[in-house]
Amino acid sequence: MSPPATTADEVDLLIGRMKTAAAPVREILREIHARYADNDEGKVADYIPELAKADRRRFGITIATVDGQVIDVGDCSQLFTIQSISKPFVYGLALEDHGLEHVLSKVGVEPTGEAFNSIVLDEKSNRPFNPMVNAGAIATADLVAGRDFPERVSRMLAMFGAYCGRPMYIDNSVFMSERLTGHRNRAIGHLMLNFGMVSDRIQDSLELYFQQCSVLVSCRDLAVMGATLAGGGVNPLTKQRAIQQPYVKYLLSVMHSCGMYDYAGEWAFRVGIPSKSGVGGGIVGVVPGQFGIGIYSPPLDAKGNSVRGILACQELSERFGLHAFESGYSGPVLRDLFSPTRST
Ligand code: GLN
């Protein structure tokens, strides 16, 4: 049975109002997109051979608010592999599976200042420094619970599905490519096995890590994942809880201090938005209580961060006072340019 006409009219009116109200935000994103779209600096990652196939011109910016408004500009539905952006989210799954203290006994929370794939463990505890570098992420993947490997993989995919509000898929070519060439990550896994920091199912855990890095997302998905964290763990579109609220602050903390590779300190200083980047060209940023930002642009700088992504986030942060430690700010507020929160 079709709904009464008035309901459809009301919905049209609401969508129309939302479009008008969000128009200033769309204009701002268009302006930022246009400013950096022609920047041709950076290099598409090729150390995982399959990643080299990415189109360097692609560029998308999405903002998703905690009340479910989504503004896209550019290539926002193009799928690419999540890569290191998977790390904080899988860390969340490990926290839910084992609790904070156990996870902390296996993976620290200190920034390294080293490249993401450095082979270095804390001298005293033999722990990897943090869950955002490969060593810590592999130890974190080792903590993902499940009776067997398929169950661990499906729990990981279901977790991403809750954040994105859709079924998730793995890019098999990227997975195979990383699996064939991932000797350094295997070395890191075996070094940790030597120190008793990971379980003897480390082979499976490395496979799980390669799979989590090969999950396909769009920059719109990244923004919704960011908005889910910004809203305390509940997906703003589906209203499904993706992570228990008390853990959200731990994910954001490691993103803030360690999320942008060996640029994390300067990022925290200049941009001040807890974020995570991946070598596929994605960045997710979280403005707690307000919105998530998703960016996609494959060319990377020498540290592995998306060149256009950095510029766009820096401009958003500066223009709208989004730095976490901004105080006494009196400039324009991005949140005010969205339509008012819908009450349902
Ligand atoms: N899968 C990649 C690796 O392990 C992820 C790295 C990244 O995005 N920085 O090398």
Q: Residue 83: in which H helix or E strand, if any?
A: none
User: Catalytic one among 25, 66, 86, 87?
Assistant: 87
Answer yes or no: 87 catalytic.
yes
CB 42 within 8 A of CB 307: yes
pLDDT band at 339 (very low <50, low <70, confident <90, very high): confident
Is the pLDDT confidence value at 127 over 80?
yes
| Residue-wise burial string across 40-54, b where 16 or more C-beta atoms lie within 10 A, e elsewhere | eebebbeebebbeeb
Ligand 1 centroid distance, CA of 277 (Å): 10
Residue 15, Cα to own-chain centre: how many angstroms?
28
User: Catalytic one among 163, 209, 250, 263?
Assistant: 209
Answer yes or no: 263 catalytic.
no
Is the pLDDT confidence value at 342 over 70?
no
CA distances in angstroms from 41 to 245, 289, 307, listed in the order given: 39, 33, 7
Nearest CA to ligand 1 atom 6: 84
Place of tokens 């896994």: 189
pLDDT for 122? 85
Answer yes or no: 91 catalytic.
no
CA dihedral of 157, 134, 94, 247, whole degrees rounded to 10: -100
Structure tokens at 52: 């080299």
pLDDT band at 18 (very low <50, low <70, confident <90, very high): low
Close Cβ partners of 198 (under 8 Å, ≥ 6 residues apart): 106, 138, 139, 142, 189, 192, 205
Cα–Cα nearest to 258, from 144, 137, 139, 159: 137
Close Cβ partners of 279 (under 8 Å, ≥ 6 residues apart): 45, 47, 48, 51, 83, 84, 300, 304
Ligand 1 centroid distance, CA of 83 (Å): 5
CATH code for residues 21-338: 3.40.710.10
Q: Which among 81, 86, 117 is the best mutation to test ligand 1's pocket, defined by most ligand atoms within 8 Å of the CB? A: 117
pTM as predicted: 0.92
Is the pLDDT confidence value at 128 over 80?
yes
Answer yes or no: 169 catalytic.
no
Structure tokens at 266: 């300067």
* Interstrand relation of 60-65 and 291-296 (parallel, antiparallel or unpaired): antiparallel
Q: Is 298 in the pocket of ligand 1 (CB under 6 A)?
A: no
pLDDT for 5? 47
> How many helical (H) and strand (E) elements, i.e. helices and strands, does the chain have?
12, 7
User: Catalytic one among 91, 261, 263, 296?
Assistant: 261
Cα separation, 325 vs 321, in Å, equals 9
Close Cβ partners of 256 (under 8 Å, ≥ 6 residues apart): 268, 274, 275, 324
- The three-point CA angle 324-22-239 to 5° equals 70
Mean pLDDT of the chain: 93
Nearest CA to ligand 1 atom 7: 84
Atom of ligand 1 nearest to the CA of 85: 8
pLDDT band at 113 (very low <50, low <70, confident <90, very high): confident
Q: Which residues is 286 bridged to in the sheet? A: 292
Cα separation, 207 vs 236, in Å, equals 31
Is the pLDDT confidence value at 318 over 90?
yes
Q: Is the Cα dihedral 162, 341, 30, 265 positive or negative? A: negative
Domain boundaries, the chain: 21-338
Q: What is the mean pLDDT of residues 281-301?
A: 98
List pLDDT tens digits, range 250-280: 999 999 999 999 999 999 999 999 999 999 9
pLDDT band at 118 (very low <50, low <70, confident <90, very high): confident
List pLDDT tens digits, range 137-167: 999 999 999 999 999 999 999 999 999 999 9
Q: Is 83 in the pocket of ligand 1 (CB under 6 A)?
A: yes
Burial class of residue 80 in the structure, from the number of CB atoms within 10 Å of its CB (0-12 exposed, 13-18 middle, 19+ buried):
buried
Q: What is the mean pLDDT of residues 321-344?
A: 84
Is the pLDDT confidence value at 117 over 60?
yes
Place of tokens 């279901």: 158
pLDDT band at 3 (very low <50, low <70, confident <90, very high): very low
Q: Tell me the residue ranges of DSSP E strands in 70-227.
A: 70-74, 80-81, 216-217
Q: What is the mean pLDDT of residues 177-194?
A: 96
Q: What is the mean pLDDT of residues 303-322?
A: 97
**Three-state DSSP class for 320?**
helix
Cα–Cα nearest to 232, from 224, 241, 219, 223: 241
Nearest CA to ligand 1 atom 4: 134
Q: Is 185 in the pocket of ligand 1 (CB under 6 A)?
A: yes
Is the pLDDT confidence value at 85 over 80?
yes
| Residue-wise burial string across 308-333, b where 16 or more C-beta atoms lie within 10 A, e elsewhere | bbbbbbebbbeebbbbeeeeeeeeee
Ligand 1 centroid distance, CA of 46 (Å): 11
